[in-house]
C-alpha cells in the first residue's frame, strides 16, 4: 500500500445508476464525496423511472435531461396472455386517474449514466476516480479503500453500489439470501409502424412477462422473459425472423416491428442482503437486492435506497454523529427494511404466480387483477403504492402537492 491517503466523508464504490445518483445526492448535500466508477460494458437495457424517482431527479436538477432523452409513460396496460383456464381481465393503469401528468420516463441506461456522469463532473464536492476498488479495511472511525491502481482513500462510510457481485458487500461480511428463477430476459429495441401513445404494455405469459416500454418516436424497448433455452434461441435468430416472432407475441398491437439495437440476455435471479449496512458499509441498489423485471421496480427501489441513505447522513451530521457509526447504519437499515422486503416478495409472487400451473394460483392472480380492474379506489391505491410506497419513500422523494 502507498503512504498517501486522500480523506473524504463518503466513498461510493460503483458508477452504475445507483452509485452515480447517490454520489450526486450526497455531494449536493454538502459531503466531501469520492466515487469509484470504472468503465462499464455496454448496457442495452432501458429503465422506466417512476413516481418517487422522478421527484428525486427533479430535486437534483436532472429531470429535464432525462425527459429529453426518454419517452413519457402515461398508461400501463397489463394483458393476461397465459392462455390458461382462469384468466385475468386486462387492466389499464392511467396516470390521469390519480392526478398525474405522467407515470415517469423510460430511458436507455447508457443515456441515464451519461447524464449522471456529466452532472457529477461539475460538482465541487465530488471526486470521480475511474478505477476499481480492490481492498478495503475498517479502522477506528474510518474505512480505507484501495484501487487497482494502488491509490488509497479513507472515509467515514463506504457505500457499496458495485452491483450484484459486490466486492464491498463481501468485504463487509454481509451474506445474501438468494434464489434462482429458470428464466432469462432478452432485451432489445424495436421500431414499429403504429405509435405506442405513451402506453407501456406488459403481457403476462406462462413463461414470464413480455414487456414493450415506450421509447421516443415509434420505438420501444422489449423485455421478453422466457425459459433460458428459448431466450437463447430467440437471441440467435436473424433480425427478420426475430422481428416477426416479437410481432406475433405482441399480437401486432404496434404493427410491424424492425429490430433496432443489439440484443442482450440477462439470466434472472433474486437475492436480498441479510442486512443493508455493517462495518462502515451501506449497500444500495443491486449490491443489496435483486429480483426479476416485473413492473419496472428494481432501480426505482434502488433510488429509494439513495434517498434514505442521503437523509440518514444528513441526520447524522445534524447530530454531529459518526457517518459510518452504528447509529447511522441502524437508522438506514430500519428505513429500508419494509420497502425492500415487501417489494422483493411482491415481485417474486407475481413472477411465480405466472409460472405456476395449478388452479388456485391462477385463480388468486386473476382475482387480484379482477379487483384492480373493477374497484377504482383499489386501483388508485395500487398505482400510488407502485410509484411511491407509503412506507419506504424518503421525504426527499415525496412529491410536494397542494
Ligand atoms: C432486463 C431488465 C430490465 C430492467 N428494467 C428496469 C426498469 O424498467 N425499471 C427499474 O427500476 N429497474 C429495472 N431493472 C433493474 C435495473 O436495471 C437494475 O436495478 C440497475 O441497473 C442496477 O443498478 P446498480 O447501479 O445498482 O448496479 P449496476 O448497474 O450493476 O452498477 C454497478 C457498477 O459497479 C461497478 N463495480 C463493480 N465492482 C466494482 C469495484 N470493485 N470497484 C468499483 N466499481 C465496481 C460496475 O462497473 C458497475 O458500473 C431491470 C433489470 C433487468 C435485468
**pLDDT for 402:** 35
The cell numbers describing 167, all together, are 466486492
pLDDT tens digits along 65-110: 999 999 999 999 999 888 877 778 899 999 999 999 999 999 999 9
Check pLDDT > 80 for residue 401.
Answer: no
Asked whether 167 and 133 are in contact (CB, 8 A), the reply is yes
**14 Cβ below 6 A of ligand 1:** yes
| Mutational test site, ligand 1, from 14, 117, 270, 302, max ligand atoms within 8 Å of CB | 14
Report CA-CA distances (Å) from 324 to 147, 157, 179, 281.
20, 4, 30, 7
**288 Cβ below 6 A of ligand 1:** no
Q: How many structural domains does the chain have?
A: 1
**pLDDT for 85:** 73
pLDDT tens digits along 351-370: 888 887 777 777 888 888 88
**302 Cβ below 6 A of ligand 1:** yes
Q: Is 53 domain-assigned?
A: yes
pLDDT tens digits along 240-299: 999 999 999 999 999 999 999 999 999 999 999 999 999 999 999 999 999 999 888 899
State the pLDDT confidence band at 388, using cuts at 50, 70 and 90: confident
**pLDDT for 141:** 93
Residue nearest to atom 37 of ligand 1 (CA): 162
**pLDDT for 371:** 85
Check pLDDT > 90 for residue 372.
Answer: no
**324 Cβ below 6 A of ligand 1:** no
Torsion, CA 102, CA 108, CA 112, CA 115, rounded to 10: -100
Per the DSSP assignment, residues forming a β-bridge with 201 are 77, 212
State the closest ligand 1 atom to the C-alpha of 286, by its place in the atom list counted from 1: 26
Tell me the angle at which helices 52-59 and 298-318 cross, rounded to the nearest 10 degrees. Answer: 50
**pLDDT for 368:** 82
Asked whether 313 and 157 are in contact (CB, 8 A), the reply is yes
Asked whether 302 and 17 are in contact (CB, 8 A), the reply is yes
**188 Cβ below 6 A of ligand 1:** no
313 alpha-carbon distance from chain centroid = 22
Compute the average pLDDT of residues 215-220.
Answer: 98
Calculate how far, in angstroms, residue 17's C-alpha sits from the geometric centre of ligand 1. Answer: 7
Q: Is 12 domain-assigned?
A: yes
| Best CA proximity match to 297, nearest among 344, 262, 253 | 344
Average pLDDT, whole number, for the chain? Answer: 94
**pLDDT for 329:** 98
Q: Is 251 domain-assigned?
A: no
Q: Is 63 domain-assigned?
A: yes
Q: Is 189 helix (H, G, I), strand (E, B) or coil?
A: strand
pLDDT tens digits along 39-65: 989 899 999 999 999 999 999 999 999
Give the CATH number for residue 85.
3.50.50.60
Check pLDDT > 60 for residue 2.
Answer: no
Q: Is 169 domain-assigned?
A: yes
Check pLDDT > 60 for residue 3.
Answer: no
Q: Is 218 domain-assigned?
A: no
Better pLDDT: 331 or 2: 331
Calculate how far, in angstroms, residue 240's C-alpha sits from the geometric centre of ligand 1. Answer: 30
pLDDT tens digits along 170-205: 999 999 999 999 999 999 999 999 999 999 999 999
* pTM, entire model: 0.95
Residue nearest to atom 51 of ligand 1 (CA): 293
Q: Is 197 domain-assigned?
A: no
Asked whether 121 and 27 are in contact (CB, 8 A), the reply is no
Asked whether 143 and 159 are in contact (CB, 8 A), the reply is no
Residue 320: domain span: 5-177+269-388
**187 Cβ below 6 A of ligand 1:** yes
State the closest ligand 1 atom to the C-alpha of 287, by its place in the atom list counted from 1: 26
Upper half-sphere CA count for residue 220 (Cβ side, 13 Å): 30
The cell numbers describing 171, all together, are 468485504
**pLDDT for 4:** 66
Q: Is 259 domain-assigned?
A: no
**209 Cβ below 6 A of ligand 1:** no
Report CA-CA distances (Å) from 90 to 42, 226, 374, 394.
35, 21, 11, 32
Amino acid at each position: 500500500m502507498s503512504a498517501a491517503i486522500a480523506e473524504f466523508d463518503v466513498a461510493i464504490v460503483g458508477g452504475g445508476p445507483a452509485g452515480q445518483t447517490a454520489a450526486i445526492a450526497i455531494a449536493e448535500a454538502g459531503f466531501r464525496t469520492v466515487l469509484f466508477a470504472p468503465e462499464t460494458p455496454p448496457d442495452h437495457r432501458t429503465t422506466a423511472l417512476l413516481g418517487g424517482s422522478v421527484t428525486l431527479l427533479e430535486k437534483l436538477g436532472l429531470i429535464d435531461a432525462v425527459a429529453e432523452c426518454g419517452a413519457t409513460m402515461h398508461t400501463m396496460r397489463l394483458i393476461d396472455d397465459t392462455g390458461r383456464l382462469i384468466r385475468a381481465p386486462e387492466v389499464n393503469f392511467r396516470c390521469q386517474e390519480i392526478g398525474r401528468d405522467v407515470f415517469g420516463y423510460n430511458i436507455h441506461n447508457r443515456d441515464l449514466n451519461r447524464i449522471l456522469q456529466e452532472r457529477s463532473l461539475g460538482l465541487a464536492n465530488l471526486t470521480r476516480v475511474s478505477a476499481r476498488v480492490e481492498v478495503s479495511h475498517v479502522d477506528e472511525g474510518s474505512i480505507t479503500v484501495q484501487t487497482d491502481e494502488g491509490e488509497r482513500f479513507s472515509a467515514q462510510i463506504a457505500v457499496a453500489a458495485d452491483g450484484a457481485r459486490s466486492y464491498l458487500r463481501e468485504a463487509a461480511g454481509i451474506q445474501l439470501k438468494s434464489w434462482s428463477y429458470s428464466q432469462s430476459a432478452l432485451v432489445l429495441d424495436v421500431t414499429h409502424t403504429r405509435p405506442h401513445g405513451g402506453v407501456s404494455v406488459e403481457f403476462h405469459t406462462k413463461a414470464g412477462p413480455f414487456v414493450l416500454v415506450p421509447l421516443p418516436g415509434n420505438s420501444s424497448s422489449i423485455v421478453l422473459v422466457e425459459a433460458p433455452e428459448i431466450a437463447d434461441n430467440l437471441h440467435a435468430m436473424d433480425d427478420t425472423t426475430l422481428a416477426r416472432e416479437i410481432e406475433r407475441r405482441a399480437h401486432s398491437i404496434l404493427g410491424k416491428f424492425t429490430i433496432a439495437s443489439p440484443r442482450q440476455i440477462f439470466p434472472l435471479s433474486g437475492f436480498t442482503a441479510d442486512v443493508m449496512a455493517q462495518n462502515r458499509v451501506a449497500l444500495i441498489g443491486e449490491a443489496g437486492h435483486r429480483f426479476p423485471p416485473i413492473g419496472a421496480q428494481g432501480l426505482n427501489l434502488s433510488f429509494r435506497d439513495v434517498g434514505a441513505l442521503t437523509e440518514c447522513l444528513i441526520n447524522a451530521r445534524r447530530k454531529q454523529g459518526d457517518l459510518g457509526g452504528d447509529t447511522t447504519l441502524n437508522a438506514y437499515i430500519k428505513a429500508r427494511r419494509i420497502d425492500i422486503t415487501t417489494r422483493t416478495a411482491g415481485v417474486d409472487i407475481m413472477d411465480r404466480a405466472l409460472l405456476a400451473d395449478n388452479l388456485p394460483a391462477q385463480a388468486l392472480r386473476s382475482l387480484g387483477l379482477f379487483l384492480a380492474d373493477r374497484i377504482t379506489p383499489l386501483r388508485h391505491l395500487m398505482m400510488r403504492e407502485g410509484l411511491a410506497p407509503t412506507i419506504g419513500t424518503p421525504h426527499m422523494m415525496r412529491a410536494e402537492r397542494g
